[in-house]
């Protein structure tokens, strides 16, 4: 009888150990399967661009030109700057509230005088000031694709949160009002279309309006936390807490893909958006093709650092900022 009890106890201990091992294996496999799908290969080369901190809000205002020059607002002094490897080249000296650049023309809104739009010629370094005293304060500016028309939000009413939508030729001679809006910023899109963004400072409650200036009306609207325009202006990438939505700017058809762990993204070309995420492994990226809508696995491209902002691509070269506020270029290939 004693031997039987000992045998039973040994069996209980044996099966208990087997059960514990099985549970450990199951938990490990579940953790492994739930880890982000990140592929590690040889890391691509990166090159320092500048160690001068650039203001990243609003991010869409940081511009990478065709020759790889980064334009933005210096975080420390507010100057409009062309960022170089070892120095700051000041384009406009002053506390810049808003700006836009198309080709060799830059528009500047100086915080010290919100009744004035400064027009800069980047080639000759000359400037012209357009004054709109009766429309002060001006809150947002954008230049048409052909560089001939300035669109701006003005007469901001802080109580009603309303601004007027305005257009003026770049010489300042022909001014026209085009209605009112509750948006705080605007961006010229194409074909008399403006993007008006109303930031409500609440997740998934801000609104992007597609506004036709010739018809003076809103054609379409979408909730979004941020947005970026494709290089050809044919699509808009919208970011919400659920993921990325791509909206066609002609017929407003859209498609979305869920990606909860990525909050930085940038257009690489007209057909691809690139998403970024920070993790313990470093910074990883994942290409998102828009036709068909398909997200590839995330792949680490920078270790022992994290990403603060992604600015844009010139071909396969990404311009981005790490948490040390250094601007870096990295060749990223799919």
The C-alpha atoms of residue 150 and residue 87 are separated, in whole angstroms, by 31
| CB-based contact 147:127 (threshold 8 Å) | no
What pLDDT, in 10s, does the model give residues 277-334?
999 999 999 999 999 999 999 999 999 999 999 999 988 899 999 999 899 999 987 6
pLDDT value at residue 40:
44
Q: What is the mean pLDDT of residues 161-171?
A: 95
Q: What is the mean pLDDT of residues 117-143?
A: 95
Q: Tokens at residue 97, please? A: 């509230």
Neighbours of 211 (CB within 10 A): 24
3-state secondary structure the chain: CHHHHHHHHHHHHHHHHHHHHHHHHHHHHHHHHHCCCEECCCCCCEEEEECCCECCCCHHHCEECCCCCEEEEECCCCCEEEECCCCEEEEECCCEEEEEEECCEEEEEECCCCCEEEEEECCCCCEEEEECHHHCCCCEEEECCCCCEEEEEEEEECCCCEEEEEEEECCCCCEEEEEEECCCEEEEEECCEEEEEECCCCCCCCEEEEEECCCCEEEEEEECCEEEECCCCCEEEEEECCEEEEEECCCCCEEEEECCCCCEEEEEECCEEEEEEEECCEEEEEEEEECCEEECCEEEEECCCCEEEEEEEECCEEEEEECCCCEEEEECCC
Fold classification of 95-223 is Methylamine Dehydrogenase; Chain H (2.130.10)
Closest Cα to residue 213, out of 248, 247, 181? 181
Closest Cα to residue 194, out of 216, 181, 205, 210? 210
Q: Is the per-residue pLDDT at 11 higher than 80?
A: no
Q: At 168, is the pLDDT very low, low, confident or very high (cuts 50, 70, 90)?
A: very high
pLDDT value at residue 259:
83
pLDDT value at residue 19:
64
Q: Is the per-residue pLDDT at 153 higher than 60?
A: yes
Q: Which residues pair with 100 in a beta bridge?
A: 107
Higher pLDDT, 224 or 15: 224
Q: What is the mean pLDDT of residues 107-119?
A: 96
Query: Which residues lie closer than 8 Å to 47 by C-beta, 6 or more apart?
Result: 328, 329, 330
Lowest-pLDDT choice from 64-73, 152-161, 220-229, 249-258: 64-73
pLDDT value at residue 37:
41
Total number of residues shown for the chain: 334
| CB-based contact 120:108 (threshold 8 Å) | yes
Cis status, amide bond into 276, omega within 30 of 0: no
What pLDDT, in 10s, does the model give residues 133-148?
999 999 999 999 899 9
Domain ranges of the chain: 95-223
Higher pLDDT, 209 or 69: 209
pTM: predicted TM-score of the whole model, two decimal places: 0.82
Q: What is the mean pLDDT of residues 169-178?
A: 94
**What order do you get walking across the sheet with 226-229 strand by strand?**
226-229, 235-240, 243-248, 254-258
pLDDT value at residue 199:
92
What pLDDT, in 10s, does the model give residues 30-88?
444 444 343 445 678 788 888 878 887 765 678 887 677 788 999 888 999 988 766 77
Closest Cα to residue 135, out of 102, 107, 168? 168
Q: How far apart are the first and last CA of the chain?
A: 70
What pLDDT, in 10s, does the model give residues 244-266?
999 999 999 999 998 867 779 99
Query: Which residues lie closer than 8 Å to 146 by C-beta, 6 or more apart?
Result: none
């Amino acid at each position: 009888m004693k031997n039987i009890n000992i045998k039973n106890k040994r069996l209980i201990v044996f099966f208990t150990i087997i059960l514990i091992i099985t549970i450990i294996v199951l938990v490990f496999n579940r953790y492994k399967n739930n880890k982000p799908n990140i592929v590690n290969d040889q890391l691509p080369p990166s090159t320092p661009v500048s160690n001068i901190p650039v203001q990243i809000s609003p991010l869409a205002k940081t511009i990478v030109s065709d020759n790889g020059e980064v334009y933005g607002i210096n975080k420390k002094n507010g100057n409009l700057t062309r960022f170089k490897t070892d120095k700051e080249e000041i384009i406009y000296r002053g506390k810049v509230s808003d700006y836009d650049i198309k080709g060799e023309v830059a528009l500047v809104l100086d915080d010290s005088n919100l009744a004035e739009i400064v027009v800069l010629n980047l080639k000759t370094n000359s400037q012209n000031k357009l004054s709109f005293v009766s429309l002060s304060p001006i809150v947002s500016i954008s230049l048409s694709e052909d560089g001939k028309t300035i669109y701006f939000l003005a007469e901001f009413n802080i109580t009603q949160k309303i601004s007027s939508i305005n257009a003026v030729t770049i010489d300042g001679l022909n001014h026209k009002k085009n209605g009112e809006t509750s948006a705080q910023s605007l961006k010229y899109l194409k074909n008399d279309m403006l993007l008006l963004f109303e930031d409500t400072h609440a997740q998934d409650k801000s609104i992007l309006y597609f506004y036709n200036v010739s018809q003076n009306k809103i054609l379409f609207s979408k909730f979004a936390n941020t947005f970026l325009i494709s290089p050809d202006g044919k699509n808009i990438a919208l970011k919400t807490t659920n993921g990325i939505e791509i909206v066609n700017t002609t017929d407003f058809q859209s498609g979305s893909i869920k990606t909860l762990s990525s909050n930085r993204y940038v257009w690489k070309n007209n057909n691809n958006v690139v998403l970024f995420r920070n993790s313990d492994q470093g910074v990883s990226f994942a290409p998102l093709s828009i036709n068909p809508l398909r997200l590839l696995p995330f792949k680490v491209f920078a270790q022992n650092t994290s990403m603060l902002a992604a600015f844009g691509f010139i071909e396969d070269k990404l311009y981005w900022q790490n948490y040390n506020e250094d601007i870096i270029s990295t060749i990223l290939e799919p």
